Amino acid sequence: FRNKFNHHAFRYVRISNLPQKPETGAMKSLQIYGDYKQTATFECSDADLNAIHQMIQYTMKCLTFSGYMVDCPHLERAGYGGDGNSSTMSLQTMYDVAPTFENWVQTWGDSMREGGRWPHVGPNPGAGGGGPYWCGFFVQAPWRTYVNYNDPRLIEKYYSQMKEWFKYVDKYTVDGLLKRWPDTKYRDWYLGDWLAPMGVDAGNQASVDLVSNCFISECLSTMYKTAITLGKREEAEEFAIRREKLNKLIHQTFYRADEGIYSTGSQLDMCYPMLVGVVPDSLYNKVKENVVAMTEEKYKGHIAVGLVGVPILTEWAVRNKQVDFFYQMMKKRDYPGYLYMIDHGATATWEYWSGERSRVHNCYNGIGTWFYQAVGGIRLDEAEPGYRHFYVDPQIPNGVTWAKVTKESPYGTIAVNWELQGNQLNLQLTVPAGTTATVCIPNNAVSCEMNKKKVSIKKQTVDVEAGHYDFLFNLK
């Protein structure tokens, strides 16, 4: 029997009333997935990290088979913008899904209503709820596709519609801050984070307002970069001015000086303002230290975010080089965490940290970039999209001794292999033809050799062109 008109996701199959016990291999299942190429590999000395990475990568494959990315392959099967926003960078790092996003973004463009209104889902815009983070997928996806694949067609085609959305945002902005917009027959709810360990949605309205306005700030930054890329400098400056004003209002409204926290002090409420430039320089280190301390004291070192928070916490950790902080969260085997899923039989990430309902879902896959950008050290340069220029700066967790990472770019395959032996770090790098790389010298390096020749460490970086390089760093 083969169903030609539908498909179902399943983990176990039960066959009853057979006249005799079937032989092993008597039944085969057919997996349906998009015919796109895997473009990244990761392996390191820590088996737990390898298992988490494999689970994330496999989940992505399970969710991208309909010409767009679904929340899950068995329940709603919907192209939720929030789910997409959360995992776009992970997905586009691991696979060549540029054609998928060309199709998916078009469904969003086709779904826009009068006045810049967007649904939370595309296609099938009447399918479900969300919040600004869901609608704004249409702003973020074209830009991310451009920087990952050096393909400007989406930002060129949809820039005017991306601008149009801000008319709707303005309609529900009060005294400079976005407030809750109304429920409609095609769009309900107004979410901040979603499916965090402490509850399905963020019950604190101040947290929801903070997260929503930080996302608007992020979108304004994306619009600025998009306008600059398209040669629309005057419009870019308007977006920059608007973002600066919004960031000041966010800080004035949500920062609690007596405690040194934003809003509720959750991981998301603290990390997001830092990422989008809300936190003044004079307070940045204090807020950063409070994130680490609060995670240990309140959450016992566990991850404490949901669908929206996972990629934000991940990006925060990468930018702030909090590799041991993040690594220790990944290593937690009790609830909530990725190893908790794996230890309870997961092969794909779940819808809930607790494991209820869906066992293959697009909620917590935003950590996929950490394996490549932090441990592997490969980070793209948005000014030179498609990895035409990239940075190599491995962040080595205490407990990991080697890593092997590849990333296939439009120009060829980038490869980074590093190994820590005592007080020496050996790093092999392959830079594809037509690209350049900036290798960051470790802060604790006392000397550096490249291809057995001494290199000055005063600049803290080494710029290289296409080729193969062997670096040896002597560390303190």
With residues binned 3-state (H G I as helix, E B as strand, rest as coil), the percentages for the chain, rounded to 5, are 40, 20, 40
- Distance (Å, rounded) from C-alpha 372 to C-alpha 386? 15
pLDDT of residue 190: 86
Strand 389-392, strand 436-440: pairing: parallel
- Distance (Å, rounded) from C-alpha 122 to C-alpha 119? 7
Contact between 303 and 370 under an 8 Å Cβ cutoff? The reply is: no
List of the chain residues with pLDDT < 70: 1, 125, 127, 183-188, 202
DSSP 354: T
Tokens linked to 59: 């989940």
pLDDT of residue 1: 64
Selection from 471, 384, 390 nearest residue 438 by Cα: 390
- Distance (Å, rounded) from C-alpha 286 to C-alpha 429? 36
pLDDT of residue 180: 83
pLDDT of residue 108: 95
Q: 241-259, pLDDT tens digit by residue?
A: 999 999 999 999 999 999 9
Q: Map tokens 């309909």 to a residue.
A: 66
DSSP per-residue codes, 233-269: HHHHHHHHHHHHHHHHHHHHHHEETTTTEETT--HHH
- Distance (Å, rounded) from C-alpha 461 to C-alpha 476? 18
Domain boundaries, the chain: 48-375, 390-475
Handedness of CA 165, 171, 175, 180 (dihedral sign): negative
Q: Map tokens 């008319």 to a residue.
A: 167
Q: 5-40, pLDDT tens digit by residue?
A: 777 788 888 888 999 988 888 888 888 888 899 999
- How far from the centroid of its chain's Cα atoms is residue 357's Cα? 23
pLDDT of residue 6: 79
- Distance (Å, rounded) from C-alpha 22 to C-alpha 42? 38
CATH of 48-375, one of 2.40.110.10, 3.30.70.100, 3.40.50.261, 1.50.10.10: 1.50.10.10
Superfamily (CATH H level) for 390-475: Maltose phosphorylase, domain 3 (2.60.420.10)
Tokens linked to 84: 């997409």
> CB count, 10 Å around CB of 46?
20
Selection from 21, 31, 88, 11 nearest residue 365 by Cα: 88
Handedness of CA 231, 233, 235, 236 (dihedral sign): positive
